[in-house]
Amino acid sequence: MGGVIANVRPGSVAEEIGLRAGDEVMAINGHPLRDVIDYQFYSAEESLEVLVHQDGEEVIYEVERDYGDDLGIEFTTHTFDGLRTCHNHCPFCYLKGMPPGLRPSLYVPDDDYRLSFLFGNFVTLTNLGKSDWDRLAEQRLSPLYVSVHATNPALRRRLLGNSSAPDVLAQLQRLAALGIQVHTQIVLVPGWNDGEHLARSVADLAALYPAVQSIAIVPVGLTRHQRGRLRPYTPEAAREILAQIAPWQADFRRRYGVTLVYPADEWYLLASQPVPAAENYDGFPQIENGVGLVRRFLDEWRDVSPSDLRGLGDIGGLTVVCGTMIAPVMRQVMGELAALTGATVEVLPVVNEFFGETVTVSGLLTGQDVIAELRGHSLGDLTLLPRTMFDAAGERTLDDLRLADIQTALGVRVAVAGSAADIVGLIPCHLKPGRG
């Protein structure tokens, strides 16, 4: 057990004492390191004894430094003792909807509470043992992100495909007693956990506020590769879901001062209803889960000043790529951009052939579908792709294509935009030679 060093920051404490890439940090002050959380937790003291495996030997370095000074180490991985994987068998599991040929990391069914703490990954809490609870009590890893789906134990076990899944409410109460906050999500499956089951789940979770900080309601996402008789939600059903949730939101704002339960953007787009104002999202605690992205995008566009748009009419044409669901919103905003600048702007929604037409979000577009859709179109000077269709580093698509691969295939200049400000900021950098 221990973490292999990937990089040592120049001028850092680690460099001063002689640590270098390839060394393995085994323990700090006698505490074995299981992951970067242990490293951060146990290296917080001013006096440290760092046990390192270096050049085939174990060496102890004694360190005295000011409180808060980072050692300056970057590790090759965030978990040193492996990854906690998922042992549930959810009928709607996104991995079951993944065809072959995607990035290898997408097939790893992680269910690791440490990654939940570090990166906001959602976990089910079904694989926690005594040592995990002891650690949570010691280190108070907060917040965590928990997939609840249903608070009725029998229903949740059915949804998880796990007959031994523990009572999630009891687990959340235990976390609350430790002072650990959670953000929760309920993935709704038509005819399974909606209706009265959703009402019970939301009421149970809301009763744990403020330990439960947010409740996201997300529609099930189904691809052509999933088996079984699951079905997606219809626009009419989406309107019914929103109508059911609205009174709860109003009640929670009166009682707690926050909306607390937040439908994912897909519900509003599917129902052809406007997304709520920003104040209804209470700081956007689940924006990475697709809750409030549309509102943030629209507000960012409203904040663009006329001076930001000066000279943009000189571009020879702009193409904006997106998923089919967000296309009406993008056409509205890009229409305003064209009217204000005189620029030629076209929004091209891409039908998801790879996963199936029922998958309509921009974040699940593949490079090959984008290339197939855009070939034959007159794309102008610049084509913008959604940031969400690339990995965390912004480098590769789900089907492992790079931005340069797409650009080469299309024969046009291509860039990535994640916000309205990105779109406006990127355009002047891609003017035709001699312009601007």
pLDDT for position 310: 62
Q: How confident is the model at residue 436 (pLDDT cuts 50, 70, 90)?
A: very low
The verdict on 355 and 269 lying in the same domain is no
The verdict on 220 and 318 lying in the same domain is no
Instruction: Indicate the pTM of the whole model.
Output: 0.91
Residue 135: pLDDT over 70 = yes
The verdict on 426 and 358 lying in the same domain is yes
pLDDT for position 421: 83
For 349-367, how does the pLDDT look when each residue is reduced to its tens digit (9 = 90+)? 999 999 888 899 999 999 9
Residue 87: pLDDT over 80 = yes
Mean pLDDT of the chain: 91
Q: How confident is the model at residue 377 (pLDDT cuts 50, 70, 90)?
A: confident
Residue 315: pLDDT over 90 = no
Residue 298: pLDDT over 60 = yes
CATH at 50: 2.30.42.10
Q: How confident is the model at residue 229 (pLDDT cuts 50, 70, 90)?
A: confident
The verdict on 187 and 121 lying in the same domain is yes
The verdict on 233 and 359 lying in the same domain is no
Residue 22: pLDDT over 50 = yes
The verdict on 223 and 275 lying in the same domain is yes
pLDDT for position 380: 80
Q: How confident is the model at residue 281 (pLDDT cuts 50, 70, 90)?
A: very high
pLDDT for position 435: 34
CATH at 390: 3.40.50
The verdict on 387 and 286 lying in the same domain is no
Q: Is 88 domain-assigned?
A: no
The verdict on 35 and 103 lying in the same domain is no
Mean pLDDT lowest among 225-234, 310-319, 417-426: 310-319
Query: How many domains does the structure of the chain reveal?
Result: 3
pLDDT for position 349: 96
Q: Is 219 domain-assigned?
A: yes
The verdict on 410 and 323 lying in the same domain is yes
The verdict on 275 and 318 lying in the same domain is no
* One-letter-per-residue 3-state SS of the chain: CCEEEEEECCCCHHHHHCCCCCCEEEEECCEECCEHHHHHHHCCCCEEEEEEEECCEEEEEEEECCCCCCCCEEECCCECCCCCECCCCCCCCHHHHCCCCCCHHHHCCECCHHHHHHHCCCECCCCCCHHHHHHHHHHCCCCEEEECCCCCHHHHHHHHCCCCCCCHHHHHHHHHHCCCCEEEEEEECCCCCCCHHHHHHHHHHHCCCCCEEEEEEEECCCCCCCCCCCCCCCHHHHHHHHHHHHHHHHHHHHHHCCCCEEECHHHHHHHCCCCCCHHHHCCCCCHHHCCCHHHHHHHHHHCCCHHHHCCHHHCCCEEEEEECCCHHHHHHHHHHHHHHHCCCEEEEEECCCCCCCCCCCHHHCCHHHHHHHHCCCCCCCEEEEEHHHECCCCCEECCCCEHHHHHHHHCCEEEEECCHHHHHHHHHHHCCCCCC
CATH at 237: 3.80.30.10
Domain that holds residue 100: 94-290
For 320-344, how does the pLDDT look when each residue is reduced to its tens digit (9 = 90+)? 999 999 999 999 999 988 888 777 8
Q: Is 295 domain-assigned?
A: no
For 399-424, how does the pLDDT look when each residue is reduced to its tens digit (9 = 90+)? 999 999 999 999 989 999 988 888 88
Domain-ending residue, one of 290, 314, 344: 290
Q: Is 299 domain-assigned?
A: no
Mean pLDDT lowest among 39-53, 194-208, 415-429: 415-429
The verdict on 256 and 387 lying in the same domain is no
